[in-house]
Amino acid sequence: MDVNTERVIEGAVTGAAAGLVASWVMSEFHEAWKAASGDRDVGDEPNTVKVADAVTEATVGKPVPEGYREPAGAAVHYGFGVFLGALYGAAVEVRPETSAGFGTAYGAAVSLVADEMAMPALGFSPPASEVAASTHLRGFVSHLVFGVALEVARRLLIAGVRAKIA
Question: Which residue, among 31, 47, 42, 43, has the nearest Cα to 133 in the 3D structure?
Answer: 42
- Report the 10 Å Cβ neighbour count for 37: 11
What are the tens digits of pLDDT across the range 49-78?
999 999 999 999 999 999 999 999 999 999
What are the tens digits of pLDDT across the range 86-133?
999 999 999 999 999 999 999 999 999 999 999 999 999 999 899 889
Structural domain boundaries in the chain:
5-165
Q: Could you tell me how far CA 111 lies from the centroid of its own chain?
A: 9
Give the predicted TM-score (pTM) of the model.
Answer: 0.92
